[in-house]
Amino acid sequence: MLVVVAPGQGSQTPGLLTPWLEDPAFAARLDWLSAVAGLDLAHYGTEADEETIRDTAVAQPLLVATGLLAALQLFPHPADAFGRVGAVAGHSVGELTAAAGARVITAEQAMVLVRERGAAMASAASATATGMTAVLGGERGDVLATLARHDLVPANDNGPGQIVAAGTLDQLADLANDPPAKARLAPLKVAGAFHTMHMAPAVGRLDHLAKSVSTHDPRTRVISNRDGQVVHSGTEVLRRIVGQISQPVRWDLCMEAMADLGVTGLLEIPPAGTLTGIAKRFFGKDVETFALKTPDQLDAAREFCDRHGEPSPFELSPTWRMVVAPSKGMFELSSDARDAETLSAGAPIGDVVGTRDRISVTAAHGGDVVEWLVEDGDLVSPGQPLVRLHPAAAPAAAR
């Protein structure tokens, strides 16, 4: 099973677009996304120095555009991707790339949102001197206790041996003087304490814009940074992306979800390397990884996708909608839904009871029950279809 992942801020490097722009089609598409973003992305991806592309307002649009266009090079006919990609996930701003790749939003919507996200986060970061530091190694309990002692937030939990601390520069300086035992500290090339309360003003800006964004339910499984759940409502995917600006990234739980899904191959789109490195530490030799960095790797990347790919479990249909399991666990069918012929929007379907928690499942859109695909007490996997619903007919207008 193939998972495609999109990296977040900090993975950008000077000149990352230089080899890609040799392709006229890539260059033309980048011009279009540059027009949408209001930025000269070709300049930032070829000529700008490291300090310039560290700017949040530049880095985030550059990352999303690079990922979207490289994915289009990998799958020239986008619909073909859903015959291979079993799930997608993005780290932080990479969630916008993943959402567009899954057809929740368009590339143009993603570029407008990332433009405003980057500008709003840069503005929020300028209010207070903040930053982020990776804590590598150490015992997990000791690392978290040390961060709490310094009033720092574990803003990114990237799995065993890597937690990213975020807070004010003074708090990070205190951490440098009093680190967790057996841990190494690595300051990150970011402009603020992302995924913390310091980013709250940016959430408000994006939430306002998101209200006007039309969404579609994803064409493949989307794994959420918030908690590793598979989300199959386009509205919910976007809502979570907005809220994630000021909430920690639980990439460790995303990888646990990938393992539950039975991932065998993980491909990282450009600028690649960070997430494949994390995956190698988490999965070991059980999962093959591919870091797509330059266009001369495209043929090998396509072979990788063919080797690990399997069709997405979701198919577009104008006649029914599916409700899917958000995580691995045992399905407990709601007594109210058991014999219902029609479920209203938001009606409870049941709960998925896992080892960590109990997650309620609702009929996001509502509709007439066509077919139950699981029974009470069945074990389910992330993204597994639970029930098919036919959109209920709208009541006739009063005459």
User: Going from the N-terminus, what domains does the chain have, and what CATH number goes with each?
Assistant: 2-124+197-308 (3.40.366.10), 126-187 (3.30.70.250), 321-390 (2.40.50.100)
Q: Are 129 and 149 in contact (CB under 8 A)?
A: no
pLDDT band at residue 109 under the 50/70/90 scheme:
very high
pTM of the full predicted structure? 0.87
Does residue 318 register a pLDDT over 50? no
- What per-residue confidence (pLDDT) applies to 312? 77
Q: Which of 24-38, 114-128, 276-290, 319-333 has the lowest mean pLDDT?
A: 319-333
- Look over the chain and give the mean of its residue pLDDT values, rounded to a whole number: 93
The rounded distance, in Å, linking the Cα atoms of 367 and 376 is 20
The rounded distance, in Å, linking the Cα atoms of 124 and 202 is 7
- What per-residue confidence (pLDDT) applies to 319? 54
pLDDT band at residue 190 under the 50/70/90 scheme:
confident
Annotate 261-275 with DSSP letters as a single string.
HT--EEEE-SS-SHH
Q: Are 220 and 82 in contact (CB under 8 A)?
A: yes
Q: Are 288 and 308 in contact (CB under 8 A)?
A: yes
Does residue 349 register a pLDDT over 90? yes
Q: Are 54 and 191 in contact (CB under 8 A)?
A: yes
The rounded distance, in Å, linking the Cα atoms of 125 and 132 is 12
Catalytic center residues: 92, 195
The rounded distance, in Å, linking the Cα atoms of 17 and 295 is 10
Looking at residues 50-68, what average pLDDT do you find? 95
pLDDT band at residue 77 under the 50/70/90 scheme:
confident
Annotate 284-343 with DSSP letters as a single string.
GGGSEEEE--SGGGHHHHHHHHHHH----S----SS-EEEE-SSSEEEEE-HHHHT-SEE
- What per-residue confidence (pLDDT) applies to 364? 85
Q: Is 388 left (phi over 0), alpha (psi -120 to 50) or beta?
A: beta
Does residue 399 register a pLDDT over 70? no
Q: Is 92 left (phi over 0), alpha (psi -120 to 50) or beta?
A: left
pLDDT band at residue 393 under the 50/70/90 scheme:
low
